[in-house]
Structure 1
């Protein structure tokens, strides 16, 4: 039984490291938005027709961001905080990396956050005139992110059964 528990803990560590890496990478990409969009726009210009909705959207976003950065550079501070939040949230997952059973609540928090992407994307996206297909792309971050966390939750619960642990639920 101890061997199975160790294998489960190794799987959990791998999945949490993957999740942490995704959060940090996602956060870091929020800093150089204009530069990234410049390259994406140029690639889209080469690969897509000028009337392609995806190209038109990327072009519109780039122009809007570029003009905003020229006239109101302080607004980019908001995406700096977005990046910072991703990195801070990633740090929270060090808890279950060290002790997954004790910190299962962090896994549940992460699962909730991933699922909460959906209403935010569809409600705020509609209000902000974000194209539907782009809202679906945003939702994929939550849909993909929740998968490793669901496995972590499953493995942690199996460890609890194997090791006959008693945990106290606060809710």
Structure 2
């Protein structure tokens, strides 16, 4: 279920700037799902994902603001039905996120950043060996001209691709299981 920052601030009893700052930080660091307006501003936030991330990384020791006075009451049946619908949707979305995390389909941004750093390091190691090619390249150009240099570089480019692929394969982890086995019945 998607809600605006103002709706979340009313629901949680905190100021809009506080919620806006939390949303901004969660989008940048954890990829919180949001809908943006035509100018790129956050229009709506996935509430279940917001609450899930706040529960996982939030600081429960921080005091919450006092709740504002309740708005004018709606007819009991409408407000109850709407609250029940929102609660059910919220619980379903939280369960979906938990299942995705258990299945290994949700990856923390920090893990991705560490993997990118390792991949970058491996590629840089392979590329840093290019200066060792200088003597062979000079000899090929002296013997056969520019064509000899191109042939040597083409062959070396293929070798570099293979070395990078081998380095990345060595870094790859086996995929996480996609199905979770239910517990055995007693």
What is the TM-score when the length of structure 2 is the normalising length? 0.22
Decide which structure has greater strand share: 2
The structure carrying a bigger helix percent of its residues is 1
Larger radius of gyration: 2
Q: TM-score, normalised by structure 1?
A: 0.23
Higher relative contact order (CA 8 A, sep 6+): 1
